[in-house]
Amino acid sequence: MLKIRSGGGWRDPVQGQARKTGGIQTKIGNIYRRQGGAWVLAFAAYTPVSGSASPTSISGGAQGVPNSGNVTSNATAAYGANGNGSYSYTWSIVSVSNGVAPTITSPNGQSTTISRVVTAAIGAITGVLACTISDGQSSYVVYVNYTLSYSTNK
């Protein structure tokens, strides 16, 4: 285990700030030590989770008679980066334009679709889907726009 001497005692390293020449502060990065003529990693700095979603806009549509139907979107996926590399995903509906929110088919999956009964009278519902990506130490939220539509055969 790596210990840092501070104020006359030994302490565990933590993420913090280090003062550089000229008074500019920066986060502490990885710490290496010399062993057998080579540099080896002694302490890995933690970088909070970040992420992305693809695609960032999903949609689904249907048409026919009767004047309503269950509409399912195409899939979207969230991708975690940084952190400790062990990600969990939690999808939620942030907003919906008309009535009841769609159902999230895989609320804890890396990828998901949404579905809902849409009527021809409504035409389309729009909104925003969010995914919280977490590694147990930090989290990051990505957003996906959605549209589900229904029309009658004319």
What is the domain partition of the chain in residue ranges? 4-43, 50-151
| Whole-number Å distance between alpha carbons of 102 and 129 | 10
Q: Under CATH, what is the fold of the domain 50-151? A: Immunoglobulin-like (2.60.40)
Instruction: Please state the φ and ψ torsions of residue 55, each to the nearest 5 degrees.
Output: -75, 165
What is the per-residue pLDDT across 34-85, written as a single tens digit (0 to 9) for each?
A: 888 888 888 777 889 999 999 999 999 988 877 888 999 999 999 999 998 8
Predicted local confidence at residue 152, as pLDDT: 80
List of E strands, the chain: 4-6, 9-11, 17-19, 25-27, 31-35, 38-43, 50-54, 57-63, 68-72, 76-81, 88-96, 103-104, 111-112, 114-119, 124-134, 139-151
Higher pLDDT, 1 or 7: 7
Count of alpha carbons within 13 Å of 2, Cβ hemisphere only? 14
Burial of 140 (0-12, 13-18, 19+ CB in 10 A): buried
Q: Look up tokens 């907003």; give the residue.
A: 95
* pLDDT of 134 higher than 80: yes
Q: Are 52 and 133 in contact (CB under 8 A)?
A: no
CB 31 within 8 A of CB 2: yes
- Position 113 scores a pLDDT of 98
CA dist 11 and 61 (Å) reads 59
